[in-house]
Amino acid sequence: MSNKRKILILGFVLLLFVLVLVYYNYNPANNKYFPKCIFLSLTGYKCPGCGSQRAIYELLHFNLVGAFKVNMFLVCSIPLVVLLIVAEFLRKKRPQFYMQVNSLKFIIGYFLCVIVWWILRNILGV
């Protein structure tokens, strides 16, 4: 692995660590410094990501029910993110697995789930 790649990975891990500390210590629901959803502010409708910051806060405090209430799609997407990370690490050893997880069908399927979630959360109020 090249030094440039090692530095990039180290920087990413450091950034992730800082973000975890911030989201663990500060509740986005009670803090004016966290960004608000521009789409919600402009339209009054929730975007697919609305509630993600609060869901992350709840997950970091092991409150799965609370996270599910503010953005169930984010919570349901966690296994997919884990799968994508595993596929990336196994890219050279299991290229077929990597290609399946990163296939166009898989990506389109997830994108369609995002669209359905977007519509349902605004119709059903979830």
How far apart (Å, rounded) are the C-alpha atoms in residues 27 and 25? 7
What lies within 8 Å, CB to CB, of 26 at 6+ separation is: 33, 34, 57
User: Is 40 exposed, middle or buried (CB count within 10 Å of its CB: 0-12, 13-18, 19+)?
Assistant: middle
Model confidence, pTM: 0.84
Q: What angle do CA 126, 51, 13 make, to 5 degrees?
A: 140
Tokens of 16: 């992730």
Q: Give the contacts of 68 (CB within 8 A, at least 6 positions apart).
A: 55, 75
pLDDT average, residue stretch 29-57: 94
Q: Where are the domains of the chain?
A: 3-123
Distances from the Cα of 53 to the Cα of 34, 39, 47, 122, angstroms: 8, 15, 13, 18
Length of the chain, in residues: 126
pLDDT value at 1 more than 80? no
What is the average pLDDT value for the chain, to the nearest integer?
93
pLDDT in tens, 60-113: 999 999 999 999 999 999 999 999 999 998 999 999 999 999 999 999 999 999
pLDDT at position 2, please?
A: 82
Identify the pLDDT of residue 5. 83
